[in-house]
Each structure stands twice: as structure tokens, then as C-alpha cells.
Amino acid sequence: SQTIHQWPATLVQPVGSPLSLECTVEGTSNPNLYWYRQAAGRGLQLLFYSVGIGQISSEVPQNLSASRPQDRQFILSSKKLLLSDSGFYLCAWSRTSGSYEQYFGPGTRLTVT
Amino acid sequence: GDSVTQMEGPVTLSEEAFLTINCTYTATGYPSLFWYVQYPGEGLQLLLKATKADDKGSNKGFEATYRKETTSFHLEKGSVQVSDSAVYFCALSERASNTGKLIFGQGTTLQVKP
């Protein structure tokens, strides 16, 4: 069976500090991968998606970036965090054909102080 | 572009009440439709899905039928429990591309009181 991991689970960072969130998927190969942000009490905002190694598409302009150095690894980064980057970050994966349901990780709660 | 609209929340029900959360969509082509559930502090879990018109998805007592004529996918449960309290998201897949991107509704909070 497939599993998806995210770490860390929680993070408190000062404004201006760098960020690195990691997501890994087990039990499948060549998945589509996604990063979402969920602000408190709000819906989901798709930040990035990837259909293959080194292939990253950005959905919204911001000071975040994403990378996919390995088939089942997806990393979300920032060089300098802003207060507005606080939120709940979710990673998800889907197969590359069929009905495209996505499976989500447990999330990372980021607080920028 | 494609879009999903859910009923505004929060929805507050007593235990054993009947639940309906409305979801309508706009899409080109024939998307797959999904309901996800999010418990406090957790990621989203796939609750059920339907991939073509008139399909009924079901899981854990929840049901939703893909209605192409009304472009709807309403979530129902006959008797809710306190443990069903969560945020529910309706979503559709963008079948026009192979990216697997989903379009989500804004979410509906359900509170079930004992």
C-alpha cells in the first residue's frame, strides 16, 4: 500500500528565516505530486505541482519554491519567510492516469513569528 | 474555468439527524467528482468518489450521486454521529490535462452535537 510522509509536523520560524519542508511517498512510482497551503479557517490553495522529476509548475506567485530531486520526494522551500507564509501545508500525490484522486499527507503547521 | 461551489457552513446537527451538504460544479468534459473529509489538525482523507454520470459513491454511511443533468454531487448521510464533526470538501478533477489537478470547493464545517 502507498503512504505519504511529511516533516516536520510543526514548525515555528522567525520572519526572514529560510524554510524547507519535505514530503516523501512510498509504495508507488512516478506519482504526480502537489503542495497546498491552508490558511486558518480557509480552503485549500494549490501552490505547486509536479508530473515528474525536475518538472515543477507554480500556481501562484510568491516567495516559495518547490523542487523534486527524486521521483517520490517533493520539497517546499523559501529563502526568507514572511508573516503571511504561516499556515497548514499539505502535500499530496496522485496516479498519472485514471480518476486522479489525490492522497494527502498529515500536514505541517508553520507559524512565522 | 472549472469550479466547485459548496453550501456555506457551519452546519450544526443533533446526533442521528439526516445530513445533506450541497455541491454543484462547472466543468468542461466529464470530470471525476470527490468528497474529502478533514478532521481538526489532520490532512484530507478521501471519503468517496464517482467517475461518471449516475455513479453513486459510498463509504462509512456517506453517499453521493454524480448528477450530470443538475451538475451536482450532494453528500448525504442518514444518521450522523458526533465523530462525523469535521470539514467536508467537494472536488473535481481536471480531466482536460494529465496533471491530476483537483478543483476544491471552499469546504463546509459540520458540527454534530450529542
B73 at the A interface (CB within 8 A)?
A: no
A28 at the B interface (CB within 8 A)?
A: no
More confident residue, A110 or B1: A110
User: How confident is the prediction for chain A on average, in pLDDT?
Assistant: 93
CA atoms of B35 and B102, how far apart (whole Å): 11
B74 at the A interface (CB within 8 A)?
A: no
Query: A98 Cβ partners below 8 Å, 6+ apart?
Result: none
Least CB–CB distance from B43: residue in A49, A57, A106: A106
A56 in Cβ contact with A73 (< 8 Å): no
Percentage of chain A beyond pLDDT 70 is: 99
More confident residue, B28 or A41: B28
Binned average pLDDT, 10 residues per bin, chain B of 114 residues: 90 97 92 95 95 95 97 97 97 79 94 96
Whether the per-residue pLDDT at A5 is higher than 80: the answer is yes
Selected for mutation to probe chain B from A100, A103, A110 (highest B CB count within 10 Å) is A100
pLDDT at B96: 64
Cis, bond preceding A8 (omega within 30 deg of 0): yes
